[in-house]
Amino acid sequence: MSEGERVQDLGEQEILKRLYAFCPIDVVGDDAALLSLAPDHFLVVTTDMLVDQVHFSDRTTHPADVGWRAAAANLSDLAAMGATPLGITVSLGLPGHLPIAWVEELYRGLVGCLNQYNTTIVGGDVCRSTLTTVSITAFGQVHPTRTLKRANAKPGDAILVTGVHGASRAGLELLLHPEKGHHVDQTTRDRFIRAHQRPCPRLDVIPVLWEEMRNFAPVREEAGFAPVPEWKIAAMDSSDGLADAVVQICRASGVGAVLERDRLPIPDGLMNWVSEAEAIDWVLYGGEDFELVLCLPQPIAEAMVNRLGAGATILGKITDFSPSPPTVILNDPTGTYPSTRLTLEKGFQHF
């Protein structure tokens, strides 16, 4: 992507004009954007910064994929709070030599993802930088009684995980080292690469959750009191890995967890290609699958599995109150492997 107009050929106003084409016309153009919330709802806010050569590079990531993934990551954080998206803002730091087509492709990817969830870009900022930098802030709304929090896990809760894990990590491996997956069939290869490039935040899970909650507390729900307080639900997205999500929930809730090794949601086709040990490593620590980890009463978890089918797994149970760092055990019910304790060490981000 080296041809055509570059950022330095256009002024800030012209760049903004090009980018306005991707935004609802009635929202952008003032000092700030105006959005309306549903009555009695909380505002939910999350933010992420992506930096060239750290979070993306031309080698593995088309700008449309950078945009899609950035939107997905932020919407996934909203899903983890139980929120419905209202919009995002996008701030860009752009080097002068960057083709304007790169920026437009980035926006195409952002809008492509947002459109799937009926939301839009409502504002932003463009500035000069020596390093391509993308900063996204996403807004959502949630009714106070339907807020999901990391600190809500209780001993006895089932740990429900949506989707499969490790697929994004597998896709990245195929992009970085195409030769390593030479015996992976094309369909499987495409599925992994798509999981990496076009992850889908699980906003679809939230209404299913509340439908199932309502089935278990119909009267209170109709009286406007649902969910009952003892059914507060813990959630986090698995953007930093499945193990990280479970450990963070346990840490915030002051509890431990036992996960069953044979229930780990390994993607189809992964074990034909990498060893079991590597597959499990990617499932637990790969990250960027943008699925949800929910801790909730066992009967509701079972109802969710019935509704979502192969798209959800009960991975284990929350255990008694636990010191920090919390005790999160990976147990093998078949007795083949010893129990291991999961830590965040693999998730530690050096600067």
Closest contact distance (angstroms) between CB of 131 and its own copies is 5
Closest contact distance (angstroms) between CB of 18 and its own copies is 13
> Do residues 27 and 34 make contact, with C-beta atoms less than 8 angstroms apart?
yes
Name residue 322's beta-bridge partners. Answer: none
Q: Which is nearer to its own copies, 65 or 244 (CB)?
A: 244
Q: Which is nearer to its own copies, 76 or 188 (CB)?
A: 76
Q: Which is nearer to its own copies, 44 or 72 (CB)?
A: 44
Q: Which is nearer to its own copies, 32 or 277 (CB)?
A: 32
Q: Which of residues 73-132 bind its own copies (CB under 8 A)?
A: 76-78, 80-81, 83, 86-87, 89-94, 96, 122-125, 127-131
User: What is the Cα–Cα distance from 116 to 81, expressed in whole angstroms?
Assistant: 19
Q: Which two tokens stand for residue 297?
A: 């009463």
Amino acid at 334: T
Q: Which is nearer to its own copies, 78 or 274 (CB)?
A: 78
> Do residues 27 and 111 make contact, with C-beta atoms less than 8 angstroms apart?
no
**Helices 276-285 and 242-253, axial angle in degrees (round to 10):** 50
Q: Which of residues 142-201 bind its own copies (CB under 8 A)?
A: 142, 147, 149-151
The answer to the question of residue 26 lying near its own copies (CB under 8 A) is no
> Do residues 217 and 226 make contact, with C-beta atoms less than 8 angstroms apart?
yes
Q: In the block, which residue shows the tokens 């930098």?
A: 133
| 28 to 67: interface string for its own copies, x by CB under 8 A | -xxxxxxxxx-xxxxxxxxxxxxx-xxx------------
Closest contact distance (angstroms) between CB of 153 and its own copies is 13
Closest contact distance (angstroms) between CB of 63 and its own copies is 17
Per CB under 8 A, the list member of 119, 137, 162, 322 interacting with its own copies is 137
- Taking phi first (over 0 means left), then psi (-120 to 50 degrees means alpha), and beta for anything else, what does residue 108 get? alpha
User: What is the Cα–Cα distance from 255 to 250, expressed in whole angstroms?
Assistant: 5
Ranges of beta strands (E only) in 82-213 are 84-94, 121-128, 133-142, 158-162
Q: Count residues near its own copies (CB under 8 A).
A: 76
Q: Which is nearer to its own copies, 81 or 270 (CB)?
A: 81
